[in-house]
Amino acid sequence: MRLCPTFLLQRWLWLCVCARQWHCSNGNNCRLPLCVRQIGAYLRLMVDSLYYNTLTNSDVVMDSLMEPIFWMVDLLTRRFGAVFVCLLVILTTSILLVVYVVMLPLIINTYSPSWIAWHMSYGHWNLVMIVFHYYKATNTGPGYPPTMKNSIPFVSMCKKCIIPKPARTHHCAICNTCILKMDHHCPWLNNCVGHFNQRYFFCFCVSMTLGCVYCSISGRNLFLDAYSAIESTYQTPPLTFRDKMFHMSVIYMWVLTSVVAVALGGLTIWHAVLISRGETSIERHLNNKETKRMRKCGKVYKNSFNYGRLNNWKVFLGVEKKSHWLTRVLLPSGHVPIGNGLTWDIYPFRKDMMPV
């Protein structure tokens, strides 16, 4: 439960008046300056605000104590969002340079025509999927609730935006606005992940993970040879500068793609689990708390946005007929998601969701 601003303001003014009256009544015999006593009164107000009502629990106290850390993280993410985007573009471009300059000539000179065709086809499909979905994820707005008066049902009021919040809408402290079906704020996109760009974000994660796994597996033997060549102290004849750069480029490519494949792969699997359950990252935390609370009351909590695993994926990917698995999933597609992100009671009643 949030603290009432009017109550805190009245409490603060009352403490300041009391401190000033006590200063005037004691004259020059006062031990501490007035400014020091006002700071003490403010600190006392902060302590009182932690337990002034019976609804305060340990979560509220911890949130209050961690608020400066959250504020600092939000500030750094807001200021350095563009830096993260530039860093991702630079690292991805460096891997592409290694692939095209170092690995592609070896593939053409070593592999059979069928293997060359497979590598060229899959590699460029993967690259197109990465570039397309990253561009759309960064440049597509996540979706915002209307600020004007409307008849759309809402579940609460945002205390910061002072507007009604529809279901699954949450306030982003970094963007300083409410986001429809907010999942999280991604610094690598410099954008919030919400209703209208969550599919782009997830498809980018899948494509980038597949690309890193592809580079890691394809370059494994080259990495082992390059590492052995670099580690060898006595070379006959010694390595030239060009050979050293070749081996170092292979090692750099393999290490970076392997690390990203593991880290981003874990994140992608986690989001796949959430999508299968019809949840976002924020809703996962809230649903766990609600499940524990209702379990204590002898009840079972049911997520009203979970339509079954297959239907959850169809709703998320926008699959409304069989051909969409190709045109909207395996190929780049800029279609908008199902629904407007404001109401969520239409999906269980769609007649074409189950047969697809």
- Smallest CA-to-CA distance from 305 within 335, 339, 333 is with 339
Q: What pLDDT digit, counting tens, does each position of 211-247 carry?
A: 999 999 999 999 998 888 888 756 667 788 888 899 9
Q: What is the percent of the chain where pLDDT is above 90?
A: 52
Q: Which residue has the tokens 């919400």?
A: 194
pLDDT: which is higher, 32 or 57: 32
Instruction: Tell me if 165 is assigned to some domain.
Output: yes
Instruction: Tell me if 75 is assigned to some domain.
Output: no
> What is the rounded distance in angstroms from the CA atom of residue 142 to the CA atom of residue 352?
26
Stated pTM of the model: 0.78
Instruction: Tell me if 129 is assigned to some domain.
Output: yes
Instruction: Tell me if 249 is assigned to some domain.
Output: yes
- Smallest CA-to-CA distance from 229 within 213, 216, 217, 242 is with 242
Q: What is the DSSP letter of 237?
A: S
Maximum average pLDDT range among 21-25, 40-44, 160-164, 208-212: 208-212
Q: What is the percent of the chain where pLDDT is above 70?
A: 83
Instruction: Tell me if 190 is assigned to some domain.
Output: yes
Check residue 2 and give its pLDDT: 46
Residues labelled catalytic: 186
* Domain housing 128: 84-330
Instruction: Tell me if 185 is assigned to some domain.
Output: yes
Give the confidence band of 1 by pLDDT, cuts at 50, 70, 90.
very low
Instruction: Tell me if 241 is assigned to some domain.
Output: yes
Check residue 56 and give its pLDDT: 62
Q: What pLDDT digit, counting tens, does each position of 301-343 carry?
A: 999 899 999 999 999 999 999 999 999 999 999 999 998 889 8
Check residue 53 and give its pLDDT: 62
Count how many domains the chain has: 1
Instruction: Tell me if 273 is assigned to some domain.
Output: yes
Instruction: Please report which helix (H) or strand (E) contains residue 214, including its range.
Output: helix 198-218
> What is the rounded distance in angstroms from the CA atom of residue 305 to the CA atom of residue 307?
6
Check residue 347 and give its pLDDT: 54
